[in-house]
A and B are shown apart, each in its own frame.
Chain A
Amino acid sequence: MMILFESSLNMIKYSVYIVPLILMIILSISIENASKKMNIILKSMKITIIVIGILIMIEESTYVKLNGHLIKTEIIELFEIILLGVTYVIITIFEKGVKEGTKTKITEEGIILMYSSIIGMLISMEAHNLITLFLSLEISSICFYILALNKNSRKVSIEGGLKYYIVGGIASTIILLGIVCIYKSTGSLMYTDIFITLMENGKVDNIAQMGLSLLVLGLIIKLGIAPFHGWLIDTYEGTGMLMTYFLTITQKIVTIIILINLYLMIIAYVTIQGLNQVLLIGIIVTLLVGTIGSLRQQKLIRFIAYSAIVNSALLIMFFVGNNTEELVSYSIYYLVNYIIGLTVLISIIMGLNKNREGNIELLGELKNIWLNNRVVGVCFIVVLLYLAGLPPFTNFISKIILILPYIIEGRLYITMIILFLTVGIMIYYVNIVKILLIDKKQQEERGGVQKLETYQMKSGGTIIIGGMLWIVFSQVYLDEIINIIKIIVAISN
């Protein structure tokens, strides 16, 4: 019966993505009162996110639609819901900021651009055709180029936005060249056709190898792996704390799901010379840059950017190994842990309210948290140690199971280097804990605090409590969670 109504179902799927966009544009013109406008647009954005989330869960869980353009499996469904959840969190923080006044400024066009970037990301995760992938990546990239310009701090954000635009344009061009090379050698643009034509001959064509590796390299430049990491630090410094959070998590989710799709459908069964070595060099250089670069940082945002680079390098490691499904499921588990940890960290930082306006910028300002508010200090220390990967928390296990399978394959040298370098990034997290705990004692002993800024948690309580519950209880149910993820990956293969 679905075949009869297929074209109308496709129309409904188009319109669910496009009609809210048009409605938001019409709303932003027609309402005159400025504060009412923002409230109504924020509420409509929340409602559309909820509606899209419900529709994703109601739909049949695996389908191929639109002449083979879109395909959905279990992994994609899981990450679409995580993506929508992250945007919901961000919009609630914006709403609170708009109510209070001037803390986080965003105009209504910013929300329209955020929504269209979500459309681009949802389509690019489901893409089964290379041109659909390219166009949807362009939609989300153009939105991010414009969103990277912060209205509050103009000079720094313009420099960051310009660098992001140029590097993103070059990365898109490299992806396009890779797509052209694949089309020239196989004659088709869909993943299944490419896989079949590449497996027919014994040896893969030279140009097809070049095409696939260019495609992967273009995606990796967008992720920020060294030596192409320079733009990322400056861009994330220019945008505010919230936009940094939005950009890191969404870029990571989208790029890693695209790479998982490509890997499970094409690259795992095809031997490409040289790609593994290049990616390994990239990962190791990224870890080096992450440890050495973050030693002298004074600002909190740059530190978060360096840790984002290191985590994305660790997430790529499934590409380089020999086991197809096991490492993919471990990467997904690591990604889920990282998202929850970063969410809790950002909600603590954004929730703190100082006497003067603005967020915490310098690391030296963290000293006063322990003096004022013991509970917030404890939460902060717990989240930092969780992100660093110290043993009682589950992030340690997720890092270990990512790195240890290489020993079983026999690559001892690489695992040794990577383990050393992950300890290196752990050092800087513990340094912040030291600033929190020990520097305040020195301030107390020296004879009182001159200007004590009072910190109070104004918002974000539910997220912090939920995150803490995850941090505690995921250790108890560790086996169940990893098995669920393995089942999800095995179903979608």
Chain B
Amino acid sequence: MDSTLGLLVILLGIIMICTLVILRSVNPIYSILNLIVIYGCYAAILLTVEMEFLACIYILVNVGAIAVLFLFIVMMININIVEIQETMRKYNIYMIVGIIGVIGIIGILITNYNIRLKEEVIADFSMFLTTSESNQLTVVPTYLDYYTLFTETTDIRTMGSNVIYGSQSIWFIMACIILLIGMVGVIYITEDLIIEKRHLNERRRQDINSQVLREYKTTIRNYREIQ
């Protein structure tokens, strides 16, 4: 119990420091890199609750797509660094109040969070985060627990087997509608910009088919011989 709480406190501490750096930093790219560190730490917290699938998907989707989108936005907008420094001073009070709120929420989470871990994992981790007693190097005969080995499932299987696609399939189809709306909405917003560029580029286009099929007899009509 103690070692896992220690691990949680370390990870949450890293998250707190990273959020402070995000809010106070002048260069927006530093903020995004700290955001990626926060995603990694949260994936580690998910690993302690035996949700491996969700942790992998979290990193794949959030870091691989969403942080990349953030970077694209930062590149698109020309942010003047001096202006950020000057305008940030009036937001100090909001930041202090926000930090108090976040500390409160984290306090609620820590005091109400029950983690259960098997004995072997505690024994493995206690090599690195030692708070427990000195029974690491004694030899103890262990018997395999066949019942738990047999009935054990990963979280993917519990999600997949007739929960998402069976009894709660309405959530799945609503997620499908949200993705469809995302595709349609993107075109609604950027329609004008794409159409402008397409009209600009259309005039430069070459139609190779008509160039190759051109014949002498049908194209040249008037000519005058010079002698």
Contact = CB atoms under 8 A, between A and B. Distances in A.
Interface of A: 14, 18, 21, 25, 66-67, 69-70, 107, 109-110, 112-113, 116, 119-120, 123, 131-132, 135-136, 138-139, 142-143, 146, 149, 151, 184, 207
A139 B188 contact: no
B53 to A, nearest CB: 19
17 contacts: A14-B170, A18-B177, A107-B188, A107-B191, A109-B184, A109-B187, A109-B191, A113-B181, A113-B185, A113-B188, A120-B177, A132-B174, A135-B178, A136-B174, A138-B178, A142-B182, A149-B189
Contact of A112 (B170, B175, B184, B191): B184
A153 to B, nearest CB: 14
A67 B177 contact: no
B167 interface: yes
A131 B178 CA distance: 14
Contact of B184 (A14, A25, A70, A207): A25
B103 to A, nearest CB: 16
Contacts of B187: 109
B180 interface: yes
Given A109-B184, A132-B171, 18 more contacts: A18-B177, A70-B170, A109-B188, A112-B184, A113-B184, A113-B185, A113-B188, A116-B177, A119-B177, A123-B170, A135-B174, A136-B174, A138-B178, A139-B177, A142-B178, A143-B181, A146-B188, A207-B112
Contacts of A69: 168, 170
Contacts of A110: 188
Contact of A139 (B112, B178, B184): B178
Interface residues of B, number: 20
Contacts of B170: 14, 66, 69-70, 123, 132
B84 interface: no
Contacts of B112: 184, 207
**What is the predominant secondary structure among interface residues of chain A facing chain B?**
helix
B173 interface: yes
Contacts of A136: 174
B167 A67 contact: yes
A113 B178 CA distance: 11
Contacts of B177: 18, 21, 116, 119-120, 139
A116 B181 contact: yes
A93 B105 CA distance: 48
B181 A131 contact: no
A184 B111 CA distance: 13
A135 B181 contact: no
Contacts of A207: 112
Contacts of B188: 107, 109-110, 113, 146
Contacts of A132: 170-171, 174
Contacts of B180: 21, 25, 116
Interface in B150-176: 167-168, 170-171, 173-175
Contacts of B173: 14, 18
